[in-house]
Amino acid sequence: MSNLHDREEAVALMKAALRHPTPLFRKYNGERYTPPPKFKTRKGMDLRDEARTGVVEAIHKAWEDQERNEVGQWTAGGGGGMGNAPKAVVGRGTISAPSAQLLAHINPEHLLRLDAVQAVVLGGMYRSAAEAKPEFDRNMTEVAKAVEGSAALPGLKGSARAAEKIIDDYKGQAAGIKDLLRGTVNVSSIDAAQGALNDIKGKFEVLPTGQRNLLSPTAPDPVDGYRDIKLNVRMSNGIVAEVQVNVPELLAVKEKFHKEYEERRVIQGRAEKEGRPLTARENEDVERLNATMKAAYDPVWARLTGKG
């Protein structure tokens, strides 16, 4: 390491992110920042690429500097078996064991595809998402029950996909990602979907950005036929989550044509990353993929709206 000062500050940042995610998240989003106790940093600090090694070491130490029990599971500061809960995020009772287990699958190497500061920010966001998940799941379950539907509540977004999305869609800025914490309310009808939407607005703080309601009968016809309701909501600890509403028939088509969706995403993402418009061939491919998906979605939508 050619610059020990940068390395030490990178380590300090990562440790602070694990213990105090919200202040760090605010700092790097231009909001007022109050340093956590005993943590100071010089104004305008620039963590160069060489600091990445320090961050990697800090994350790995947080995961590895602990004892394992006789069956190879992590323990939390001598407090008994905690599944795969990293000691650093359980320590001193600052995060619950269930929340810590949500973080156990996060791979530090994935986070370090970002620059050092953004890796720290994303680590803090993951912790905040884990802390907010019980509240999120409870609200989603109540919404689903009210409309006689069901709630699909997966774990936190995988770290490999999160890093990829931040790089491809948000120019490397971790704060851009809104779906580390996400869930779907599945309903049986279009009317029930609108009821779920109303209930979501009553349960969550819905953000004005990132909204779409393609399950409204008056919604414009999507170019690829895909329809859902999607909202970004802010949890009580400040982390943003993504809520979707859908019906099983449309989700079945989505799953069946995931390959086509991914092919289109790769084509469009490559052009955007290279800062150029689609080529004529790429346009043809995108139009072909859209037509294929639309031909599958449209008959389902017609049945759901009583027009098929």
Cβ distance 109 to 56 under 8 Å?
Answer: yes
- Identify the CATH homologous superfamily for domain 4-246: Beta Polymerase, domain 2 (3.30.460.10)
Cβ distance 55 to 74 under 8 Å?
Answer: no
Q: What is the number of other CB atoms lying within 10 angstroms of the CB of residue 121?
A: 25
CA angle 63, 68, 72 (to 5 degrees): 105
What pLDDT does residue 297 have? 97
Cβ distance 18 to 39 under 8 Å?
Answer: no
Q: Domain locations in the chain? A: 4-246, 251-304
> Which amino acid, residue 106?
I
Q: Which residues contact 60 (CB under 8 A, 6 or more apart)?
A: 108
- Buried b / exposed e along 182-209 (16+ C-beta atoms within 10 A): bbbbbbeebebbbbbbebbeebbebeee
**Pairing assessment for the beta strands 229-234 and 212-213 based on DSSP bridges:** antiparallel
- Rounded distance, CA 102 to CA 79, Å? 18
Residuewise pLDDT in 10s, the chain (308 residues) = 333 344 455 555 555 554 444 443 344 333 333 433 333 333 333 333 333 444 444 444 444 443 333 333 333 332 322 333 333 333 333 445 556 666 666 776 787 788 767 777 787 788 788 889 999 999 999 999 999 999 999 999 998 999 999 988 888 888 899 999 999 999 999 999 999 999 999 999 999 988 999 999 889 999 999 999 999 999 998 899 999 999 999 999 999 999 999 999 999 989 988 999 999 999 999 999 999 999 999 999 999 998 86
- Rounded distance, CA 271 to CA 232, Å? 27
**Total number of residues shown for the chain:** 308
pTM: 0.71
Q: Partners of 213 in the beta sheet?
A: 229
Give Cα 214 distance to the centre of its chain.
Answer: 22
The structure tokens 């349960």 sit at 203
